[in-house]
Each structure stands twice: as C-alpha cells, then as structure tokens.
Copies of this chain bind each other. A is one copy, B any other.
Amino acid sequence: MNGAETLVETLLGSGVDVCFANPGTSEMHFVAALDKYPDMRCVLCLFEGGATGAADGYYRMKENVAATLLHLGPGLANGVANLHNARKAKSGVVNIVGDHADYHLKYDSPLKGDLAGISNAISHWTRAAPDALSVAQDGAVAVQAARSNGGQISTLILPANTAWNNAEGPATYLAPKILHRPSNEEVVSAAKVLSQPDACLFLGHKALYGKLAQLAGRIAAKSGCEIVADFLVPRIERGQGAIHLTRMNYPIAENLGILKHIKHMVLCGSNRPVAFFAYPNMPSTPEPHDCHITELCAPDMDYAWTLQALADELGAAPKHKPKLIELDLPEIPTGAMSLEKVGEALAAILPENAIVVDESVTSSGPLVEATKSARNQDWMHVVGGAIGQGLPVAVGAAIACPGRKVVSLMGDGSAMYTLQSLWTMAREELDVVNIIFANRGYQILHLELANVGVLEAGRNAGRMFDVDNPTLDWVSLAKGHGVSAERVTDADEFVKALRKGLATKEPYLIEVVC
C-alpha cells in the first residue's frame, strides 16, 4: 500500500466519498489509487474553479465535506476564487493538491511555484505531507480541519513521492474539534436584549434553514424581535413554511433604511453586516449610529447550541410557533418578457424542495421578490461575491441531492467565468435547469459607474461593461458542452421552456433575452 492508497482509504473512512477532480501528472499515483476504490465518486471538472465551486455547493446541501483533486500551484490558483466563496460560506472543503516530489523542488521546473503561498492565502489549514508514512494521518487531520469551526478550507499538499512511496495503512477518523460556545451570562444578556423593542436577531449560515431557522422563529415569536439575514447567505429556506425574515440588500443606501429602526442587534451565526463596497461619503456599515451590536455567537462557534440556549432562556417553547410563510402562487405569466414575469413563472412552476442557485446579480431582485411565497425551496447565494460560482455550485448541489430539482439563475457575465461546468452537468447527467439572463454585459458596472458620478459610459468603459459585438450565443455554448438549450424572448416561451427543462432529468439551459 502506497501513500496515495492510504490517503484514499483514510478519506473514505472519514466519510469523504466524492472527489471533484482536475488531475495532472503529479497526481498520477493518487489517480491510480482512486481507481482501486470505486466507492470514491470522481467527478471530472474541465476547469479547477468548477471543482472547488462544486465542493462548496455539495457542502451547503449535504453538510458534508467533499474532496477536490488539483494540480500544483496553478491548479490550486484556478480554484481559489470559488474557494474564496466557499470560505465565506463556511463550507468545509478538502483540497488534495499534488506537488513535485520533494527532492525535485530544489529545481526551477516549469510548474514549480509558491504552492504553499497560494494555499496560505486562501486556506484555513495547509500542510505538505512530509513523507509517505505521514500521508494518511495528514489526510485525517485535513478532513478534521475542514469540518472544524463550522466548516473550513483545508489543503493537503501531496508531493508525488509521498504518494508513490510505501506506507502502512489508513488513519482513523478524527472528530471535528469542539465548537466554542458563548457563556451562560452572554446568553442571558442576549435574551434580555432580544426582548427589548427594536431588537433584531441577525442570523447566518446553517441557522437560516431547517430546524435552526424554526428555532429562531420561535425565539422571535416569544421575544418579539425581528429576524434579519444578510444579503448573500450560503443557503436560505424560502417560500411556504419558511420563517419570516428581513433580508438585507446590495446597496448600502437601501440597507441603511432597512435597519434604521434597529436599536439592538444580536449576532448569531453571522458576522456584523457590512457594505459590499465602500463608496465616497457613505458609511461602511449599515446599522444606525445608536444601534448596539451584541456579538453573541460567531459563525465559527456553536450557534446551534446558542439558539437552543436562547430559546430556553426566553422560554420559547414549541408552542410559540413562528408565523410561517404561506403559499401564494401567482398566475402563470404571459406576454412580453420581464424579470418580474420570470420570477412569477418560477414561483408558479418550481416544485417543492427545489434548490435555487442565485447568481443573477442585477436580475436577482425581481426574481427573489416574486418567489417569496412560492413552494418551499432552498436558495444559495454568492457569499464571497466572486462571480463564477453558480454553475459549479449547481453541480455540487445536484450531486449532493440527487432527488431534488436544481435551478441556477445566472447573469451572462457570471456564467461565462466557469461555463465548463455545463459539461460536467452533461457528463454526470445532473438534474439542473440553468437560466441565463442575457442582458449582454456587466450591468452592475453601469450602475456602479453611475454611483461614482459618471452617468454615461464612454468608449473605454462601454467596451469593458458590455458583452456585445458579438453577443454570446448561449444555445450554442450549451450545445458545445453537450447540454440541450433554447433561447426565449417572451414569457410564454419561458414558461414552456422551464416546464420542458424541469420535465427531464438531464441538464437544460434557457437563455432569457432580457
């Protein structure tokens, strides 16, 4: 048994059985080892950002860690943007990155680079296996690190000779480190704060869906506090049966309004809200000056325990039922295209339990609004703001939840970043409907240029904002990757296309010209 084989056995023994891969030569012994263990599902991604984004989506839906397999520094670097998003989402990911044999690293071979430097810039945990005998234990610690502190980026660098040299056997599973908790005094104090007028419980991460969200709803029902969530969150339960909450928005000016009445903010599973960008003469944070922020439980702490402790302290029992969103489906829209109608069609047609990956950027607002009383759904956002995660996250979500319909809502500019994920959807026969909003440009940049006082883009700005001349042809792009597609220009066509896409179990793509 060589080092690579002990690592694959360790990963499987630690509950990691999916590997999103883009391997190269230095990973050949690891690939050969993967070949011996068919329990490991290897999913080929034609670009590394597709692999890391898929691992992120997988974690968000499965709450379990997937591995990626990447090729030296450049391979890891290609995955960094989506690791950034995963890091902000607190998704646990284990990157296995092949490196040169350690004795080869003293030479300036073509792929030699500062692999550790790149990893340190993005990972919570980085280790280069020192020898074959250590690989298994390092792998177990890597998985442990990925599962600790609420989900982390963990990178194990695997020099080729540590993979090919003889080793002993796999290492045993290591439980994640125990999460920190606030003190009882802090819980008591926060419970008092939440009972005051104009208080809000600011939630994040896994507290925004399922049992924890319902628990938070009980706390709100008993204490009278508002529940608020950030604009971009890893996963949020929406539609019928979800708790009522206020979601922040993108513009800082709007967020100042959303929070203007809040005097007390208790953070639980979330960092404090902050403006996406700084703007001249605007504040960096959206809360009023006289708002007191209680940092009760950070995202890397035990916010599940904390919410229960808050509920207990407040006496929020199961009988304090939160007011939940009731089903209210719109009519099927017809006629000329609008984002509002796309949203109404999604609301009317998307099935219970759908997973929606929203990277539609400037198109998102009307879609979110129209679907608020739809059937129960999970929505996922680009928490780290690095565009190009939507299609990869949809891949990971579909692999995590084979029984559920996945819909990606993509800006055309965003989708172009990692369009190679369409091929992985076709290869793995994933049940994903991709909706591309073809507004032919980075529309947000037109808005942002106006925000800095330039109301009309000149030639250079226009040529950097507009993805036109030529326009992208998403039907051909999809076909090129093996995905069926169609272009729609009015609401009736969209409704028909959406129904067609949802009816198959194969990936589908709809280019919405808007």
Contact = CB atoms under 8 A, between A and B. Distances in A.
Interface of A: 21, 23-26, 28-29, 31-32, 34-38, 40, 42, 44, 46-47, 49, 69, 73-75, 77-78, 80-81, 84-85, 87-88, 100-101, 103-104, 107-111, 113-114, 117-118, 120-122, 160-161, 164, 232, 271-272, 274-278, 280, 284-285, 382-386, 388, 413, 416-417, 419-420, 423, 426-427, 444-445, 448-449, 451-454, 457-461, 463-464, 467, 469-482
Q: Which 9 A-B pairs rank lowest in CB-CB distance, beginning with the nearest? A: A470-B482, A117-B121, A477-B480, A110-B385, A74-B386, A77-B80, A476-B480, A101-B278, A104-B278
Given A31-B464, A46-B467, A276-B111, A445 B24 contact: yes
A420 B427 contact: no
B472 A160 contact: no
22 contacts: A25-B445, A26-B277, A35-B461, A36-B458, A38-B458, A42-B463, A44-B463, A74-B85, A74-B384, A77-B77, A88-B110, A101-B278, A104-B274, A104-B278, A107-B274, A109-B275, A110-B384, A110-B385, A118-B122, A416-B423, A476-B476, A476-B480
Contacts of A38: 458-460
A251 to B, nearest CB: 11
A449 B73 contact: no
A449 B24 CA distance: 10
A32 to B, nearest CB: 5
A253 to B, nearest CB: 14
Contacts of A120: 114, 117, 121
A25 B444 contact: yes
A474 B388 CA distance: 22
Nearest to A160: B278
A229 to B, nearest CB: 14
Given A454-B35, A464-B31, A73 B84 contact: yes
A114 B117 CA distance: 11
A470 B277 contact: no
Contacts of A80: 73-74, 77-78, 80, 118
B284 A104 contact: yes
Contacts of A482: 470-473
Contacts of A473: 479-482
Given A24-B445, A469-B427, A482-B470, A111 B464 contact: no
A122 B482 CA distance: 35
Contacts of A417: 46-47, 78, 420
Contacts of A475: 480
A457 B77 contact: no
B476 A34 contact: no
Given A35-B460, A84-B74, A481 B471 contact: no
Contacts of A36: 458
A32 B160 CA distance: 48
A230 B199 CA distance: 68
A31 B460 CA distance: 8
A107 to B, nearest CB: 4
B278 A461 contact: no
Nearest to A280: B164
A71 to B, nearest CB: 9
A104 B464 contact: no
Residue from the set A21, A32, A74, A85 with the largest chain B CB neighbour count within 10 Å: A74
A276 B112 CA distance: 9
Contacts of A24: 445
B110 A28 contact: no
Contact of A164 (B29, B69, B452): B452
Contacts of A23: 445, 464
A470 B32 contact: no
Contacts of A274: 104, 107-109
Nearest to A412: B46
Contacts of A385: 74, 109-111
